[in-house]
Amino acid sequence: MILVCYGTRPEVIKVAPVIKALQVSDLPFKTVFTGQHRELYEDVKFMVPTPDYELDVMQANQGINGVLALILNKLDVVIKKEKASMVIVQGDTSTVLASALCAFNNRVPVGHIEAGLRTFDLASPFPEEANRQLVSTIANLNWAPTELAAKRLEAEGAANVLLTGNTVVDASQSFEFPIVYGNEILVTLHRRENFINGKIEGMFKQIETLAVEHPNLNFIFPMHPNPNIQKYRRIFKKVVVTDPLNYKEMIALLSKVKFVISDSGGIQEECAALNKKILVCRNTTERPEGIDAGFAKLVDDRIIENFAWANDQPRWEGINPYGNGKAGHLIVKSIRNFFNKSTERAQETTVVSNPTGMSK
């Protein structure tokens, strides 16, 4: 039994194409939702089947280690009960690290979607950079979203590296919204490393200033429910602050905005699929392909001084570096090949250990 494990909104979006491909295959699978993003899950749950298991790991005032411990303990029971043949994870969250480690400790093969992203700075993003590096060392199948990611994995000696493209391209292409460049600016800011020394408050003030200075533009900010973000809601008077959008609503908005201001990772890939520029509000990025392609610019907290780069010439019409929307199919095909090869190796071992073919 294959177990597909996910816990956050981005994971749901990016495992959905793999689950869809599994549904039309003959490979048996079940899904496990850890509950790491309980509220945000409601916005994307239509993209995946009802989970076979919900671990409900989140508690009040819980730290990272508390989340890891609960996932390890609860998923261990599921892996043993289902006699799991593989555990599939996506990305770099606490759910990903704990699920992969739990599988590894049970000698169950691990498949890692979106493997090979790197900043090589363990503090940025934290703890995601460490999570994905650790998972790559124990994964049996590493599905790389780009050529650069594949090369990094091969240089690290990772097992079974396969270039698939990014599953978010599959997901975003499931909707067919026309691409236009209106007067809306989409804002998403929530990274943990931007909480330090009031950095994110300064970015919010810059965006409010831009909204005042550009009354012809409509700044839209679907605000993350994290209390460390919500406490700054008072700053915004001209910026339109909304609750988080479900994925279809987000793609519909992204298809018509002028450009994006964000510290998110996945939205950089969606911008590529929808031909939108993005100001990346981080000091490092594990997605340099967007910068090289010309639709992304790494600006850290210097939003105002880089605003004209996107606002004056918002159109981008390059080649998407994140694939052609067939990642889910390629991943499932590689799983089948992995199992077939494992069966062949087992048969060869049997022949060698019992060369006469006689029953013992």
What pLDDT sits at residue 228?
Answer: 87
Please, which residues have CB within 8 angstroms of residue 47's CB and are 6 or more apart in sequence?
12, 13, 16, 171, 247
**Catalytic residue selected from 76, 156, 190, 300:** 190
What pLDDT sits at residue 359?
Answer: 37
**Catalytic residue selected from 11, 114, 170, 289:** 114
Q: Are β-strands 86-90 and 110-113 bridged in parallel, bridged antiparallel, or unpaired?
A: parallel
pTM for the predicted model, two decimal places: 0.85
Active site residue 114: yes
Q: Is 140 helix (H, G, I), strand (E, B) or coil?
A: coil
**Catalytic residue selected from 128, 269, 270, 289:** 128
Least-confidence region, from 37-41, 200-204, 263-267, 326-330: 37-41
Active site residue 128: yes
Nearest to 321 by CA among 300, 298, 294: 294
Active site residue 300: no
Region 22-42: what's the mean pLDDT?
A: 92
DSSP string, 64-82: HHHHHHHHHHHHHHHHHHH
Cα dist. 204→145, 236, 263, 326, 329 in Å?
31, 8, 12, 37, 40
What pLDDT sits at residue 352?
Answer: 52
What pLDDT sits at residue 357?
Answer: 41
CA dihedral for 271, 257, 194, 192, sign (positive or negative): negative
Q: What percent of the chain has pLDDT over 90?
A: 79
Active site residue 56: no
Nearest to 84 by CA among 105, 70, 57: 105
Nearest to 209 by CA among 231, 187, 194: 187
Residue 257 has pLDDT above 80, yes or no: yes
Query: Using CB atoms within 10 A of its CB, is residue 312 exposed (0-12), middle (13-18) or buried (19+)?
Result: exposed
End-to-end Cα spacing for the chain = 30
**Catalytic residue selected from 192, 214, 302, 329:** 192
Residue 356 has pLDDT above 50, yes or no: no
What pLDDT sits at residue 65?
Answer: 96
Q: What percent of the chain has pLDDT over 70?
A: 96
Residue 301 has pLDDT above 80, yes or no: yes
d(CA 123, CA 181): 35
Count Cβ atoms below 10 Å from residue 121 Cβ, excluding itself.
Answer: 13
What does DSSP assign to residue 276?
Answer: B
Region 32-46: what's the mean pLDDT?
A: 87
d(CA 211, CA 205): 10
Active site residue 92: yes
d(CA 216, CA 232): 24
d(CA 189, CA 200): 8
Q: What tokens does 89 get? A: 């994870």
Please, which residues have CB within 8 angstroms of residue 333's CB and are 6 or more apart in sequence?
none
Nearest to 126 by CA among 284, 287, 322: 284
Name all domains of the chain by residue range, CATH numbers in brackets: 2-164+326-353 (3.40.50.2000), 184-311 (3.40.50.2000)
Q: Which of 43-52, 110-119, 167-176 has the highest mean pLDDT?
A: 110-119
**Catalytic residue selected from 9, 118, 191, 224:** 224
Count Cβ atoms below 10 Å from residue 319 Cβ, excluding itself.
Answer: 7
What does DSSP assign to residue 178?
Answer: P
CA dihedral for 156, 157, 158, 161, sign (positive or negative): positive
Residues pairing with 162 in the sheet: 143
Active site residue 129: no
d(CA 95, CA 71): 7
d(CA 335, CA 86): 9
For residue 126, how many C-alpha atoms fall within 13 Å in the half-sphere facing its CB? 11
What pLDDT sits at residue 231?
Answer: 93
Residue 360 has pLDDT above 50, yes or no: no
Residues pairing with 241 in the sheet: 221
d(CA 257, CA 279): 13
Q: What tokens does 56 get? A: 């409900």
Count Cβ atoms below 10 Å from residue 164 Cβ, excluding itself.
Answer: 26
Residue 276 has pLDDT above 90, yes or no: yes
